[in-house]
Structures are given as structure tokens and as C-alpha cells.
Structure 1
């Protein structure tokens, strides 16, 4: 449960207006999936409920997607649960980030279904709205700490969120407009084994460099996470 709560730091909270039913399928680890209807999660699953709520995003902002890094195929004129939708198949040009397949309501530009796949084609998480003919409402996004935009530290990814946690850990969230990853930098305490695993819809990579512990969480593959840590560790040494 501690690991699940840790993942809640990854994505700033985004809320949909109204009461809607959201069905989730999420990779719990490398072998197992969990499927659930979001509203049916009881108090004993509050952390999983919160994580799923953060993974679902309000709408597709295609203008923010770094198109130099993706091939985008759009099919219009489709129907989904009574809504007119377009299907977006957004495939990375290189295997350095994840593929997203989305059904988007043409009236509100809101995402009604999303599937996220890693470079090996494994489903990492998916969600869909189960209400039929339901009226969508504009979403409300909670404010988050701003980060000054500079040049891309990592190809296509810009820092969009940064904060210091209570224990002194520094978290920075990077986004290319579609995929995201957070880097947590903290002081290493004791022996820490390097690790790379899938955990509740995210890749999680942890590596100790000197006296610093780097943890990367998000939707980029492990080789890319290794490069992120190497780049940041090199900057720290300079």
C-alpha cells in the first residue's frame, strides 16, 4: 500500500464534472491486472481510487502534444455510447515513450476511452466512461506549482510541475503533452537496490548514484528512464 500511495504523487489531480461511471483496467505489476468500476471501490481501496482518478485526464489537448515524436492517425465519424467520437491512434516514432489510443467526444473534446501501451505492446492501463448518452460537462483542473519553461532536458519533454516534499525529496514532473514521468530526487539512506518494475499503471525505475537516490515514475520505458537518471546525475556532479 505504501508503494501505491507513493504513486499518487505522479499526476496532479484532475476532476470531471458530474457523477460518471469510469471502468478501469490497470497493470498491477508485470503479470497481473486489476479491473474495476471506479465508483465501486470502497474505503479499503481509497488509495487505488485516488490513483485511478489521477490517471484519467479530462480531454485531449492535441496542440500540446510534441508531434515531432509521434505518428498520429485520426478516424472520424465513429459512435461510442451514443456520442460522436474520433479515434486517435498516437504512436511514438521511436520506442522511447508509450502509445495512446483514444476515443474523444467531438463536441467537448473529452476523452471517453483511453488505452496506453508500452513499446512491447503491453497494455499498461485503460479506462472508459460507461454512461450511455450521458451529458459531458467541462472539467475543472486544480492549480499546480508552475515551472519556467526552458529548453527540453529530455527529447520532447518539458518540466511542468516541481515541488519539494515534506521529507526534502524534490519532485519534477515532465510532459510531452501526452506521456508524463516524474523524477524524485532524495538522499539515499542505507543500502538501496536498483530496481525496474511495473506498478499500478506506471513504469517505476529506482537507482542510487553516490549518496543520491533517483526514482523515475511514468509512461516511458526503462532504457529511457536510465538515460534520465544518467543525465541528472551528470548535472549534479558538475
Structure 2
């Protein structure tokens, strides 16, 4: 696969890692459809970079089916699905106010894990219709995990569980979709300078950066985007999770 022949849907692409990926893909000649709940930001970015925008709730089957159908009608096909939609909460299993709120745990799993699977399974049905390349591949699915899947900290039970599910999903999904020529990969980012972190005081950002082994800085969303682009173009990458974290190991 080459980016300038790729038609990608990217969830959570109105901001953060997804927006950086959408921007990079468009600069490399890919067709992109932004899928997000934030209509204002999504439409603004789509207009700026020459992409399409479709509002979607990743946890809702009908919403995703409609979004994928719209994306395919715009682009003519779908050859890559990149899941960047997600939420992060901080809450201990047993805190000062009592046990972890169950609805918050469920919502995190629903958006981060179930939502990613929902997009992946429905996108796979469309990707499977593509004409295979000479080596039999038809497209790729990239899910977003996190180093919290491996090094989860206090208060990250829900988030780490959702991202651990993404890690565990990669290989069996790659095996499931092998006969259809669809590769499945996951990226596990470390601490990235997304809008959530940009709102923190500079001294807090600097402190977080000091925990990174090398280079001692926060990740740039463009680096996630470049890795996603490399995965798209490297057909032999499949069924694996790539840590993108500057060798950071959370305490």
C-alpha cells in the first residue's frame, strides 16, 4: 500500500493524535474521512486539509454503519481504518469517596475497546471487498493502545483495562482477517502533547518529560501520524503492538 492510493477513515480525528494523522495522510496524498462526535472541530479540520467529515458515535452500530457508508461514497473505497477515538479517566478502585464508579469504568471500556472493535469489524467488511495487491493484502486496521496497557498507574484501572484489551485484540484479529488480506496493528503511545496535556502548566509538562528515557520530551502527535503512515505502507507489519514512548517505563 502507498499513502497516495489509500482511502482512510480515522476516528477521534477532530483533535489530538487523530487530527495529526488525518493532516499527515492528506499531505501525502491519501483520501481521508474524519469520524468524530465534535462536529465543529471535525468540519473545520476537514475543510482545512481537504478531507471529509462524518459525525459518529463509535459505540453505536447504526451510527458507524452510516458513517462507513458515507465515507465509502465519498472516497470510493476504504483501505485503512485508524482508531484514535478514546477517553481517559483517573479513579482508584477504592478511593476516599468509595468504590470506583461502575458507569465510568463501563463507559471507558465501551468507547476505547468496544468502540475500536465496532469500527474495526465494520470497516473490515468494506476493506475485504478491495482488489488484493500482488501479495494478497487489501488494507489495514490500526488501533490505538497505550503504554498504560503494560505500565498502568494508580487510578488507571479503567483506562489500562481498555487499552490492554486493544493489545490482546491485535493478534487474534489479524489471524481472523488474514484470509481477507487485512492486516491489524496497534500503536501504544507514551505521554504525548495532546490538547489534554497542553492545558497543563509548563512546569508540569517539563516534569513529565523528565521521566522519558530519551529524548526527554513529550511525544509530538506528528510522530504518531508518521508511524501510522509507515504501518500503512509496510505490508509485512501485522499482528503486533508498537510502543512509541521514548523508552518510558511508568513507575
Shorter-chain TM-score category? under 0.3
TM-score (norm 1): 0.26
TM-score (norm 2): 0.25
User: Which structure features the higher share of helix residues?
Assistant: 2
